[in-house]
């Protein structure tokens, strides 16, 4: 008798809800192996028996031929006694156990499902919830692990006989697809009294009439209007109290995207891939969108349909639609049906909803191409909760609470850092509730019991207060991480490195170790600690936080007395003199080294923006103003040592002098960007002489400015530096929790 071996295999990674068990079943049958495969709370377990050459091929194929949504992190294999049993089957999931499995992110509708959606002969023709093992809802419907239908929000939809047959057929694409459904047994569409296709037709009619329609998506409600209609976009702005911030635009396909924007190979992959983020792209001059969609902006945020409902809506409406998160003011995206009707009743004319519950609210992700890759600006739907894999194991379970703005939290164990979906700005009760509920859900999903709580040093951040309050019950260790150190550590973890590096952390606000406001920092950093080697020269913020909302105050602080001839001073009389006095006295004018405030000041000087309506607006519009081909660079003096002081005043004064001389604002904006990039390169070259470190890590929200980032990288590489930038997590505060987590782990080691 030929020799037979039996292998016991444990598979770790994103292997539940992605068709992995059906794949294993089909593979084993193809190789004539016997045994079984199943899910448990730790992942997928397999026993496979057959000739040695067949089991070897089986193990190789588990890694090389896995389904498109699967991510195999590790195979643990051991040989056990052969049983001689016949057949290969999928066995039920056992109860209990320690949760170690990973949960897949929601994935855009696959090509096979789209063919069914468009086929009049198919029983799922125009069914807005078609899905299979290769696509559809995952994270937003999961209540617990292992990932089986009873632990999802599909538990309330018993499968009809036909769906049950597909679910049980190893040869079917929907074999053990947990959200499987059809018009006979699954969720249904509704708008008022209309149902199904009638509801969709009514939504299309309302959009065509200039109405605002709230649409329930994967992770929450969106507000939709006709993107080609200026009046419809203005109506939405007025009702949502969103004066200037650009709206995202959904287009049906890549051809439509190319009509509105310049789409390179990276943008094409981002737009059409399974994650489907909003992609920020240069808009074409003749782009057919309403002026109010993205006023004064040279870019558009485009996304392609990622649910069957989106595909049907865009096909029927035949025009691009604005698709923006449905929320009120600074609150998180609305995702519960009753809450949506309460909170959005004054905004939406109608609600296109359905009866499949959303368990976790999840905003759209945002990305933009950069140097042949992607730069994430918001990491959420399509990415979360898939982990960032780090270089070394976390020695203990970590909860990193993140920052105040653009908050994410991070749970970490093993080599996995589970960065949360985008929570938002922790400035109101609803967002704080989303934060705390999200932490509880992640702890359950990934069986994390935090032993270390990492937090920002700012005592007034709600994320810091959460950590301090939670520590009072005991059993956890608190680790405070300085904000800009967390930024650089995040960039290191993003690149799989541990340092040391010269870290350039440029952002709007961060609490410094000297209890002042930092934000233009040059650090020598690794994962355990940092030294502050340099920073922008401090400048007063007249009125404190008011100076963030009114950038003209920062211009006044940088200009000082004797500049009454400039237009900005005339525009703000009589308040100008009072603000100058406040800046000189230091009363209600805390000092800051923030690069963000320097960009604000230059924007106000050039008349770009005196008052902002959303965070970072002045700097964003200054980037938009700058002539991309503009040459010349302002120069900043660098004085002293550790910490060296970099004169942002020099950059600002040069801009003011050019303005007096009649130089075009677009040219001044370009020279300012060039000057900041050149200054960063020059300061880092000086610091290399004293530290011997030849790698620079760039982090902080200021480096979401692609004009600045591109020129800074070029300046540093021209001086022989190796440059690390962000790719897997945002450079802004959305990546801070990852930095906090890896710093806490490094200190623990």
698-724: pLDDT as tens digits: 999 999 999 999 999 999 999 999 999
Confidence at residue 111, expressed as pLDDT on a 0 to 100 scale:
96
SS3 of 391, please? strand
67: which DSSP letter? -
* Co-location of 344 and 406 in the same domain: no
pLDDT band of 21, cuts 50, 70, 90: confident
Q: Which residues lie below 8 Å from residue 577, measured CB to CB, with a gap of 6+? A: none
List the structure tokens of 566: 């400039």
| 412 vs 547: CA distance, rounded Å | 37
Asked whether residue 638 is assigned to any structural domain, the reply reads yes
Q: Average pLDDT for residues 27-40, to the nearest whole number?
A: 90
**For residue 206, is pLDDT > 70?**
yes
| 625 vs 617: CA distance, rounded Å | 12
pLDDT band of 561, cuts 50, 70, 90: low
* Co-location of 519 and 474 in the same domain: no
DSSP per-residue string spanning 518-571: EEEEEEEE-SS-EEEEEEEPPEE-TTTTHHHH-THHHHHHHH-SS-TTSHHHHH
655-695: pLDDT as tens digits: 999 999 999 999 999 999 999 999 999 999 999 999 999 99
CATH of the domain at 700: 3.30.420.40
Q: Which residues lie below 8 Å from residue 76, measured CB to CB, with a gap of 6+? A: 9, 10, 12
Confidence at residue 749, expressed as pLDDT on a 0 to 100 scale:
79
Q: Average pLDDT for residues 98-104, to the nearest whole number?
A: 67
With tokens 């770790």, the residue in question is 12
* Co-location of 561 and 694 in the same domain: yes
Contact criterion met (CB below 8 Å) for 131 and 153: no
The strand pairing partners of 723, in sequence order, are 696
Instruction: Look at 466 and 391; give whichever has higher pLDDT.
Output: 466
* Co-location of 655 and 548 in the same domain: yes
Pairing outcome for strands 501-511 and 213-216: unpaired
Residue 337's nearest CA partner among 361, 309, 313 is 361
Asked whether residue 109 is assigned to any structural domain, the reply reads no
60-74, 196-210, 339-353, 706-720: least confidently modelled range: 60-74
- Burial class, 345, CB count within 10 angstroms (exposed 0-12 / middle 13-18 / buried 19+): exposed
Q: Which residues lie below 8 Å from residue 350, measured CB to CB, with a gap of 6+? A: 191, 192, 202, 203, 206, 211, 213, 214
Confidence at residue 50, expressed as pLDDT on a 0 to 100 scale:
92
* Co-location of 475 and 521 in the same domain: no
**For residue 53, is pLDDT > 70?**
yes
Instruction: Look at 384 and 102; give whichever has higher pLDDT.
Output: 384
Please state the three-class secondary structure of 344-378 as a single string: HCCCCCEEEEECCCCCCCCCCCEEEEECCEEEEEE
Give the number of C-alpha atoms closer than 13 A to the C-alpha of residue 631, restricted to the C-beta side.
0
> Taking the CB of residue 50, how many other CB atoms lie within 10 A of it?
23
**For residue 20, is pLDDT > 80?**
yes
Asked whether residue 660 is assigned to any structural domain, the reply reads yes
Contact criterion met (CB below 8 Å) for 348 and 328: no
* Co-location of 703 and 565 in the same domain: yes
Q: What angle do CA 613, 619, 622 make, to 5 degrees?
A: 110
Asked whether residue 22 is assigned to any structural domain, the reply reads yes
Last-in-domain residue among 90, 116, 131: 90
List the structure tokens of 157: 């939809």
Confidence at residue 420, expressed as pLDDT on a 0 to 100 scale:
97
SS3 of 402, please? coil
578-633: pLDDT as tens digits: 999 999 998 899 999 999 999 999 999 999 988 998 899 999 999 999 999 999 99
pLDDT band of 112, cuts 50, 70, 90: very high
**For residue 729, is pLDDT > 90?**
yes
pLDDT band of 395, cuts 50, 70, 90: very high
* Co-location of 569 and 470 in the same domain: no
466-520: pLDDT as tens digits: 999 999 988 899 999 999 999 999 999 999 999 899 999 999 999 999 999 999 9
Whole-number Cα distances in Å, 568 to 449, 573, 598: 54, 9, 16
Confidence at residue 603, expressed as pLDDT on a 0 to 100 scale:
97
* Co-location of 266 and 352 in the same domain: yes
**For residue 310, is pLDDT > 60?**
yes
Asked whether residue 137 is assigned to any structural domain, the reply reads no
List the structure tokens of 348: 């939406």
- Burial class, 631, CB count within 10 angstroms (exposed 0-12 / middle 13-18 / buried 19+): exposed
| 688 vs 629: CA distance, rounded Å | 30
* Co-location of 341 and 228 in the same domain: yes
401-434: pLDDT as tens digits: 999 999 999 999 999 999 999 999 998 888 999 9
189-201: pLDDT as tens digits: 999 999 999 999 9
Q: Average pLDDT for residues 317-336, to the nearest whole number?
A: 91
pLDDT band of 100, cuts 50, 70, 90: low
Q: Which residues lie below 8 Å from residue 143, measured CB to CB, with a gap of 6+? A: 151, 152, 153, 359
Residue 236's nearest CA partner among 336, 349, 341 is 349
**For residue 443, is pLDDT > 80?**
yes
239-288: pLDDT as tens digits: 998 888 999 999 999 999 999 999 999 999 999 999 999 999 999 999 99
| 98 vs 176: CA distance, rounded Å | 22
Strands (E) located in 265-372:
278-282, 299-303, 321-325, 350-354, 366-370
Contact criterion met (CB below 8 Å) for 331 and 242: no
CATH of the domain at 16: 3.30.70.100
Q: Could you tell me the pTM of the whole model?
A: 0.92
pLDDT band of 97, cuts 50, 70, 90: low
Residues of the chain by 3-state class (helix, strand, coil), percent to 5 = 35, 25, 40
Confidence at residue 327, expressed as pLDDT on a 0 to 100 scale:
87
* Co-location of 667 and 714 in the same domain: yes
Asked whether residue 587 is assigned to any structural domain, the reply reads yes
With tokens 């000041």, the residue in question is 601
* Co-location of 234 and 337 in the same domain: yes
| 479 vs 469: CA distance, rounded Å | 14
DSSP per-residue string spanning 25-55: HHHHHHTT-EEEEEEETTEEEEEEEE-HHHH
Whole-number Cα distances in Å, 445 to 271, 401, 442, 501, 739: 29, 17, 5, 35, 22
Confidence at residue 96, expressed as pLDDT on a 0 to 100 scale:
61
Residue 220's nearest CA partner among 116, 43, 360 is 360
Q: Indicate the number of domains in the chain.
A: 4
Q: Average pLDDT for residues 463-468, to the nearest whole number?
A: 96
The distance in angstroms from the start CA to the end CA of the chain is: 53
616-628: pLDDT as tens digits: 999 999 999 999 9
Confidence at residue 507, expressed as pLDDT on a 0 to 100 scale:
97
Contact criterion met (CB below 8 Å) for 602 and 655: yes
Task: For residue 29, give its domain range.
Answer: 5-90
Asked whether residue 749 is assigned to any structural domain, the reply reads no
Q: What is the mean pLDDT of the chain?
A: 93
* Co-location of 667 and 571 in the same domain: yes
Confidence at residue 98, expressed as pLDDT on a 0 to 100 scale:
53
CATH of the domain at 468: 3.30.420.360
The strand pairing partners of 591, in sequence order, are 540
Confidence at residue 158, expressed as pLDDT on a 0 to 100 scale:
97
| 119 vs 125: CA distance, rounded Å | 6
CATH of the domain at 300: 3.90.870.40
pLDDT band of 92, cuts 50, 70, 90: confident
Asked whether residue 180 is assigned to any structural domain, the reply reads no
| 23 vs 633: CA distance, rounded Å | 58
With tokens 């040869």, the residue in question is 171
Strands (E) located in 199-275:
213-216, 221-226, 248-250
What are the contacts of 662-667 at 24+ separation with CB within 8 A? 664/627, 665/606, 665/607, 665/608, 665/625, 666/625, 666/626, 666/627, 666/630, 667/627, 667/630, 667/632
pLDDT band of 101, cuts 50, 70, 90: low
Contact criterion met (CB below 8 Å) for 371 and 724: no
Last-in-domain residue among 55, 90, 125: 90
């Amino acid at each position: 008798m030929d020799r037979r071996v039996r292998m016991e295999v444990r598979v770790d990674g994103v292997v539940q809800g992605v068709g992995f068990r059906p794949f294993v079943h089909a593979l084993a049958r193809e190789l004539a192996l016997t045994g079984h495969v199943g899910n448990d709370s730790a992942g997928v377990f397999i026993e496979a028996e057959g000739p040695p050459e067949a089991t070897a091929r089986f193990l190789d194929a588990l890694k090389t031929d896995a389904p498109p949504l699967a991510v195999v992190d590790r195979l643990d294999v051991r040989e056990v006694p052969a049983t001689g049993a016949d057949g290969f089957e999928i066995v039920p999931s056992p109860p209990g156990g320690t949760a170690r499995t990973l949960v897949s992110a929601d994935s855009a509708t696959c090509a096979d499902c789209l063919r069914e959606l468009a086929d009049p002969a198919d029983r799922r023709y125009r069914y807005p919830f078609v899905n299979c093992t290769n696509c559809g809802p995952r994270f937003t419907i999961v209540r617990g692990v292992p990932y089986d239908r009873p632990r999802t929000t599909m538990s309330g939809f018993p499968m009809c006989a036909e769906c049950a047959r597909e679910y049980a057929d190893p040869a079917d694409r929907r074999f053990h697809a947990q959200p499987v459904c059809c018009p006979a047994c699954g969720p249904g569409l509704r708008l008022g009294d209309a149902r199904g296709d009638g509801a969709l037709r009514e939504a299309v009619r309302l959009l065509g009439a200039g109405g605002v329609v709230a649409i329930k998506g994967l992770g929450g409600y969106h507000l939709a209007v006709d993107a080609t209609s200026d009046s419809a976009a203005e109506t939405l702005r007025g009702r949502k109290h969103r004066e200037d911030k650009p709206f995202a635009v959904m287009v049906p396909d890549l051809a439509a995207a190319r009509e509105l924007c310049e789409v390179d190979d990276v943008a094409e992959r981002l737009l059409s891939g399974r994650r489907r983020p909003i992609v920020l792209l240069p808009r074409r001059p003749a782009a057919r969108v309403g002026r109010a969609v993205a006023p004064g902006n040279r870019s558009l945020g485009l996304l392609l349909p990622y649910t069957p409902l989106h595909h049907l809506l865009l096909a029927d409406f035949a025009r691009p639609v604005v698709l923006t998160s449905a929320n009120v003011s600074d609150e998180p995206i609305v995702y519960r049906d009753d809450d949506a009707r309460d909170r959005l009743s004054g905004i939406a004319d109608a609600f296109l909803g359905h009866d499949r519950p959303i368990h976790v609210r999840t905003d759209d992700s945002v990305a933009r191409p950069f140097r042949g890759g992607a730069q994430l600006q918001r990491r959420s739907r399509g990415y979360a909760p898939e982990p960032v894999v780090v270089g070394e194991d976390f020695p203990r379970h970590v909860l990193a609470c993140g920052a105040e703005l653009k908050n994410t939290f991070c749970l970490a164990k093993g080599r996995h850092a589970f960065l949360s979906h985008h929570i938002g700005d922790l400035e109101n009760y609803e967002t704080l509730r989303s934060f705390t509920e999200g932490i509880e859900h992640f702890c359950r999903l990934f069986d994390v019991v935090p032993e270390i709580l990492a937090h920002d040093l700012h005592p007034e951040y709600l994320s810091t207060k959460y950590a301090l309050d939670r520590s009072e019950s005991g059993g956890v260790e608190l680790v405070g991480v300085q904000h800009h150190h967390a930024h650089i550590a995040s960039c290191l973890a993003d690149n799989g490195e541990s340092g040391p590096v010269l870290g350039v952390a440029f952002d709007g606000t961060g609490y410094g170790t000297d209890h002042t406001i930092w934000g233009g920092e040059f650090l020598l950093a690794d994962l355990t600690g940092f030294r502050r080697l340099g920073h922008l020269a401090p400048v007063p913020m007249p009125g404190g936080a008011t100076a963030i909302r009114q950038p003209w105050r920062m211009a006044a602080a940088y200009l000082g007395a004797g500049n009454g001839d400039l237009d900005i001073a005339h525009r703000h009389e009589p308040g100008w003199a009072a603000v100058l006095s406040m800046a000189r006295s230091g009363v209600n004018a805390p000092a800051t080294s923030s690069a963000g405030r320097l960009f604000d000041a230059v924007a106000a000087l050039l008349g770009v923006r005196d008052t902002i309506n959303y965070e970072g607006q002045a700097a964003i519009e200054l980037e938009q103003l700058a002539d991309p081909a503009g040459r010349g660079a302002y120069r900043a003096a660098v004085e002293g040592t550790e910490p060296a002081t970099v004169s942002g005043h020099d950059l600002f004064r040069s801009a003011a002098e050019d303005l007096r001389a009649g130089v075009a604002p677009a040219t001044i904006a370009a020279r300012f960007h060039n000057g900041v990039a050149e200054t960063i390169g020059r300061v880092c070259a000086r610091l290399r002489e004293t530290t011997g470190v030849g790698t620079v890590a760039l982090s902080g929200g200021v480096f979401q400015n692609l004009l600045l980032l591109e020129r800074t990288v070029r300046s540093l590489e021209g001086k022989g530096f190796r440059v690390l930038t962000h790719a897997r997590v945002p450079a802004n505060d959305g990546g801070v929790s990852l930095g906090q987590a890896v710093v806490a782990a490094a200190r623990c080691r």
